[in-house]
Structure 1
Amino acid sequence: MSESVMIYDTTLRDGAQSEGVSFSPEDSLEVLKKLDEFGVDFVEGGWPGSAPKVDEFFKLASKIKLKNTKLTAFGSTGKFGTPAKNDQNLKNLAACPVEWCCIFGKSWDFQVTSALCILPEQNLDLIRNSIRFLKDSGKRVMFDAEHFFDGYINNKEYALSTLKAAVDGGAEWLVLCDTNGGTMMEVIADAVEDVLLTFEIPVGIHCHNDSDLAVANSLVAVERGATMVQGTINGIGERTGNANLCSIMANLELKLEYELNIKDIGQLTELSTFVSETANLAPVPGMPFVGEKAFAHKGGVHVSAIARDPRTYEHIAPECVGNKRRILISDMAGRASISEKLKDFGIDIGTEESQAIVNQIKALEAQGYQFEGADASFELLVRRFKGELESPFKVTGFRVFIDNIGDKVSSEASVKVMDSNGNEEHTASNGDGPVNALDNALRKALSSLFPVTDRIRLTDYKVRVLDGKSATAASVRVLIRSTDGKNSWTTVGVSENVIEASLYALIDSIEYAIHKNTDKEVAQ
């Protein structure tokens, strides 16, 4: 297809209504720059006058030059009984240093009489007069028809009359909103077609995800003639979220072949990650296209086929959206999985070796180990198996003390370590808990022997009880994620003692860092 579709991002306003999300003015400015660089057509910056930080953001944004994006201010129609020229909300929109405003108004008669408590005709006047005021103030205006599809189902004539009022007021876009996120696809399709047959100005779609249909409904709307999609990066938003622009943009460009103004769909995963980090949200690993699991393969049959031709189990090449393929190692893995995974590490193995590694993995997973999320431990396992790697140090003893002093609980750990030359270190360290104390003591003991340990920091720590029926005697699996400031890696340990399991994972983490640092020194 050659039709063009515009992308309207409302991450900074609708996305910020997601539980736990709050953008500072500086955060918002960085997101705006990133979206502009990506080529998004419109970015909704927020509601002027709603909070000091929103006004500060618009002030900061007015000082930068956007290359691709039109920054937009959001608001509502004026209040009943107040002339538009005296309505503070409309005056704030008119004063905002942007060209475009997007205002919402009621299009469902039930909302008009129950929420606004005014007559339907009075609501039409509000829509018309509010938009006309903004137009007369020099703004270009979009009208978000709130609850449009609910209104269309219950009183089609009135819902369409609200759009006519917006057009009469001077709106340049009609955006149909599935505000409660409960509309089915066929209703979206029929309503969009009807609106396009009734009005001559372009139509957009704004869907919420309460029925898990926001992306599908947005795509259906486009296929029926909508030429703008509103949504958020990663689908963040109030309740269950908004339409996910990551999925929408990828589907529109790669599957449906619509023209988008975005510069490079290959930067999509990076954009997704950037917004998650800026919003202080953990990336959703199972998200389509951009998630860490989107192109992860675990079953041996799948991996064997992927090795021959990725199209067997991948709908697109991961690189198209800036993602990458991941081969997961588990007791479901076969020789093909092992071979493919080891290519990432630059390790070649024969058939007999790969089968022996498979058998070893199956035995370890029977004990509770899991390597699909612990690549560093898996690589160490293979290199030890092949005789390429000997442990550079050995923990010869450790103790952990937990004291209750007054109303505070303190933790202290002592560790004895010996390197391959017989040099021994015995140190102790405090920590914010027994595992943190053990981590600090271990790295302190090893720092003089292996300076690379000074750069290692633990960034994530997970404990999984493997057999809940055994209660406090159950085995536990500990996953630890570490970083040296540039790279990150994950290791695993299993034991009936959570401290011991943690120690195993910590030892693997440090051994992995030493191994990689040694490789760099050899390469240099």
Structure 2
Amino acid sequence: MSHRTVEIMDTTLRDGEQTSGVSFSASEKLTLAKLLLEELKVDRIEVASARVSDGEFKAVKNITEWAKSEGYLQKVEVLTFVDKGVSLDWMVATGAKVQNLLTKGSLNHLTHQLKKTPDQHFKDIGEVISKAETLGITTNVYLEDWSNGMRNSPEYVFHFLDFLTAQPVKRILLPDTLGVLTHQETFDFLDQIIQRYPNTHFDFHGHNDYDLSVANVMESLKAGVHGLHLTVNGMGERAGNAPLASVVAVVNDFMPNIAINVKESSLYKVSKLVSAFTGFGIPDNKPIVGDNVFTQTAGIHADGDSKKNLYFNDLLPERFGRKRKYALGKTSGKANIQKNLQELGLTLNDDELKKVTERIIELGDKKERVTKDDLPYIISDVLDSEWHQQRVFVKSYVLTHSKGLKPSTTLSIEIDGKAYEENAQGDGQFDAFINALKKVYGREKMELPKLVDYAVRIPPGSTSDALCETIITWQTKEKSFTTRGLDSDQTVSAIKATEKMLNLF
């Protein structure tokens, strides 16, 4: 089967920057330009709109200086306007050599926005293209609103293309500007154009307003387009552009006659960096680059993966520089826990595994987020709980902390079947809890061990909703000993450690 190579033009730095609330600094643009061309191996990048700002000028100048030194200058493109050459003068000052000239691809836009006739518009465009040629600037031409042009004024579009294909233009760029095309329309419109102009290079620029951008990209390739415009994380105006990672995976897996140069294993790295620079978060369920994409949650899936990889598909995480993970929660079951234990190098017997599973399910029911890093803490807590017979139960407590008032605790506790209730104040909530506890044991003429050390830790790399482990060392007249408590709330984990002490004591 013969292969044809399709160009990938990444427009994250231009169209992607039109995401609401997103703006790249000049240094960020340079960093991403280097990554996109050298690490990710995209064929071209669109880096800015001409005349926008002084910052944009500086960003483009930095990129072109680097690109020229590395032989990438013809891969760097700038959006320009039909403005009697003002954009071209701006480009010359930045050192850029490829313009993507924005023109009107529908009669509706031309009539109501520019208020010109087709011939007037074509004349203005011809003058810009001619000036670009004298300046040594390569011209590609955008037909803005082309998709609606094909729907509502196809005669105008073909009249325009007849004009452009006779001009010194390298590529014609066909955008679904408003993201309105269905996959069938995408194929039909592009098929008509490519058959009519077989010697012209056409790019397809898809938007995602109906979540159809990837399907439309596939249809554009079937119709024979020569280039695609994509963005990292699908960034862009409104619902964004066709997402780079998804398109790369789809083309590589489902379109064997199409070749692209993008390096799959770098997609995730670049995706995370773009997210960090922009503050534009990646949804957990976003294909290829989302946090949950290679995470199995259901225990039956983890079990199946252990039995001939029954729940694997061709989207192996290693392709994208990632690893498969197994979530811990109320639906995970023993199989998920075993997978995480293997990764940590830990082993449990069947009885221990059952108890740990029950604890994780309990935490899941409370909507606690449990991670692999939490697992050693949970194991320690569960197995530590087995070492003593429980005779003391902290049944209930109310912890209060108000501005201007000392923290207080009301405590309900059961000792050998007998219920007690006390209230006390303290320097903090846990101190108030201990003081209430001292009152209970004072009734029975019993002295509690002294608290001599108190430490709190969370699993390394965990987030603000992580489980925390409180480790308390106690001192009696005879010896010292340590107990641990585990919970997402620090005070509650300390109370659990104290309950263990009471049973050991």
Q: Return the TM-score normalized by structure 1.
A: 0.73
Task: Quote the residue 1:128 is aligned against.
Answer: 126
Task: Quote the residue 1:145 is aligned against.
Answer: 143
Q: Report deviation, 1:241.
A: 0.7
SS in structure 1 at match of 2:328: coil
The answer on whether the counterparts of 2:82 and 2:102 sit within 8 Å (CA) in structure 1 is yes
Q: 1:371 to 1:127 in 2, by over 3 A?
A: same
Q: What do the CA deviations read for 1:220-279 (whole angstroms, capped 9, x no partner)?
A: 1112211211021000111111111111122223442432223x3112111111111122
Which structure 2 residues correspond to residues 348-497 of structure 1 after superposition, within 5 A? 348-366=347-365, 368-372=366-370, 374-386=371-383, 402=403, 424=452, 461=464, 478-479=465-466, 493=487
The answer on whether the counterparts of 1:127 and 1:166 sit within 8 Å (CA) in structure 2 is no
Q: 1:214 to 1:492 in 2, by over 3 A?
A: farther
Q: Report deviation, 1:140.
A: 1.0
SS in structure 2 at match of 1:312: coil
Tell me which structure has the larger Cα radius of gyration: 2
Task: Quote the residue 1:4 is aligned against.
Answer: 5
> Structure 1: where are the runs of 5+ without partners?
79-83, 391-397, 405-411, 426-444, 462-477, 482-490, 495-500, 509-524
The answer on whether the counterparts of 2:317 and 2:323 sit within 8 Å (CA) in structure 1 is yes
SS in structure 1 at match of 2:166: helix
Task: Quote the residue 1:292 is aligned against.
Answer: 291
Task: Quote the residue 1:301 is aligned against.
Answer: 300
The answer on whether the counterparts of 2:282 and 2:289 sit within 8 Å (CA) in structure 1 is no
Task: Quote the residue 1:440 is aligned against.
Answer: none
Query: Counterparts of 2:348 and 2:122 in 1: how far apart (Å)?
Result: 73
Task: Quote the residue 1:22 is aligned against.
Answer: 23
Match for 2:138: what amino acid? Answer: R
Q: 1:260 to 1:457 in 2, by over 3 A?
A: closer
Which structure 2 residues correspond to residues 69-148 of structure 1 after superposition, within 5 A? 70-78=75-83, 84=84, 87-148=85-146
Q: Return the TM-score normalized by structure 2.
A: 0.76
Query: Counterparts of 1:255 and 1:261 in 2: how far apart (Å)?
Result: 16
Q: 1:377 to 1:144 in 2, by over 3 A?
A: same
Q: Report deviation, 1:399.
A: 8.4
The answer on whether the counterparts of 2:98 and 2:138 sit within 8 Å (CA) in structure 1 is yes
Query: Counterparts of 1:479 and 1:131 in 2: how far apart (Å)?
Result: 59
The answer on whether the counterparts of 1:41 and 1:68 sit within 8 Å (CA) in structure 2 is no
RMSD: 3.4
Q: Report deviation, 1:209.
A: 0.8
Query: Counterparts of 1:141 and 1:346 in 2: how far apart (Å)?
Result: 59
Task: Quote the residue 2:53 is aligned against.
Answer: 51
Q: What do the CA deviations read for 1:446-484 (whole angstroms, capped 9, x no partner)?
A: 5xxx9x99x9899x54xxxxxxxxxxxxxxxx4579xxx
Query: Counterparts of 1:197 and 1:505 in 2: how far apart (Å)?
Result: 70
Query: Counterparts of 2:48 and 2:58 in 1: how far apart (Å)?
Result: 11
SS in structure 2 at match of 1:246: helix
Task: Quote the residue 1:261 is aligned against.
Answer: 261
Which structure 2 residues correspond to residues 171-210 of structure 1 after superposition, within 5 A? 171-199=169-197, 200-210=199-209
* Bigger mean CA deviation after superposition, 157-166 or 270-279: 157-166
The answer on whether the counterparts of 1:209 and 1:240 sit within 8 Å (CA) in structure 2 is yes
The answer on whether the counterparts of 2:9 and 2:227 sit within 8 Å (CA) in structure 1 is yes
The answer on whether the counterparts of 1:383 and 1:389 sit within 8 Å (CA) in structure 2 is no
Q: Structure 1 vs Structure 2: percent identity of aligned residues?
A: 22
The answer on whether the counterparts of 2:294 and 2:323 sit within 8 Å (CA) in structure 1 is yes
Q: 1:60 to 1:96 in 2, by over 3 A?
A: closer
Task: Quote the residue 1:407 is aligned against.
Answer: none
> Structure 2: where are the runs of 5+ without partners?
388-398, 406-426, 435-448, 469-484, 497-505
2:167 corresponds to 1:162: no
* Bigger mean CA deviation after superposition, 284-293 or 63-72: 63-72
Q: 1:389 to 1:197 in 2, by over 3 A?
A: farther
The answer on whether the counterparts of 1:276 and 1:282 sit within 8 Å (CA) in structure 2 is yes
For these two proteins, the number of residue pairs brought into alignment is 428
Query: Counterparts of 1:505 and 1:215 in 2: how far apart (Å)?
Result: 48
Match for 1:76: what amino acid? Answer: F
Q: Report deviation, 1:387.
A: 5.0
